[in-house]
Structures are given as structure tokens and as C-alpha cells.
Amino acid sequence: MWRDLHLGAMKNVPLPDIIVEDIEIERVVNGKTWIIISPRAEHKEGVIYGTSVDITIKDPNGRNTHIYADGSTFTRENNDITLTNGDGTMTEKGKTYDMQSGFVEYDADTERWNFSKGVTLSSENMVISGDAGVYDTRSGDCYITNGGTVTWTN
């Protein structure tokens, strides 16, 4: 009822172009197949906003990545992605690497993952954590910025 009584105030609120439920998108970005699944996606002004997003990235070189996030944005213009509360796993050459971060940005042009609001990267016998970090998919370099902690186990 409150909304109906204040419809005049609603004219300045930007509305989405489209809202889709239970969507699965498959797209090739830089030669890799991205499969994005979300129970709800909203397209507004060239940006797709998703909730409870499940992303699978299949690299023809054998690197497979699976990421779950509470929320995401996908910019259609440049294929950049942001993820909120990302939790992922990358498998390459028989090794598995895990990732957790409060905020993740993927720059499609440079193919770099930027982690912030806390990041933990781990493998079978090592855990690296810090406030922020970067993973360059082209070079394979991964580093923590602004200092961090490395823990090795046997």
C-alpha cells in the first residue's frame, strides 16, 4: 500500500530493462567457455546483476575454474565481472587451488583477477592470505598486495 501511495516518487528510480529467473548463460571470452548460472538476473544500463551466481570457466589449455558468489555484475561492453563473497576452485595439471575473497574483479582485457576485502589462496600444502591480491591468468603469477601471510604444511 505504501508503494501505491507513493507512485509519484517512484518515477525517478531506474528500473531494469529485464529480469530473468533461473538463467544459464554460456559465452566464450578470450577463448575460454564461461557458463554462468543464477536463480535471478537483472539487466540494467548494459550491466547484468546476478544473485547466487555459479560460474564455470573451461580453458582449452586444461585449466578449469569453478566459482560461487553471493552476487555479481557482468558488463556486456567489455566482459568484466565483479563478484561479492567469492569462493572458488581452479584445477590445472592435476593440482587444485582454492580461493576465497570478499570482493573479486575480473578484467577481461588483461585476464587478471583482482581480490580485495580479504583473500585466501590455498593449495595442497600452502595457504596464502592477505587483504588483497592479484592472479594473472596469462603469466600464472599470483601475489598478495599490501602484505600477507604464507603457511606451509607437510
Domain 2-152 has CATH 2.60.450.10: yes
Q: Per-residue pLDDT for the chain (154 aa), expressed as one digit of tens each?
A: 555 555 555 555 555 678 889 999 898 988 999 999 999 999 888 888 999 999 999 999 899 999 999 999 998 888 899 999 999 999 988 899 999 999 999 999 999 999 999 999 999 889 999 999 999 989 989 889 888 998 998 7
Dihedral sign computed on CA atoms, order 8, 10, 11, 17: negative
- The cell 507513493 sits on which residue? 6
β-bridge mates for residue 14, sequence order: none
**Could you tell me which of 60, 84, 64 has the C-alpha nearest to residue 74?**
84
**Which stretch of DSSP H or E encloses residue 86?**
strand 81-92
Domain range summary for the chain, segments of one domain joined by +: 2-152
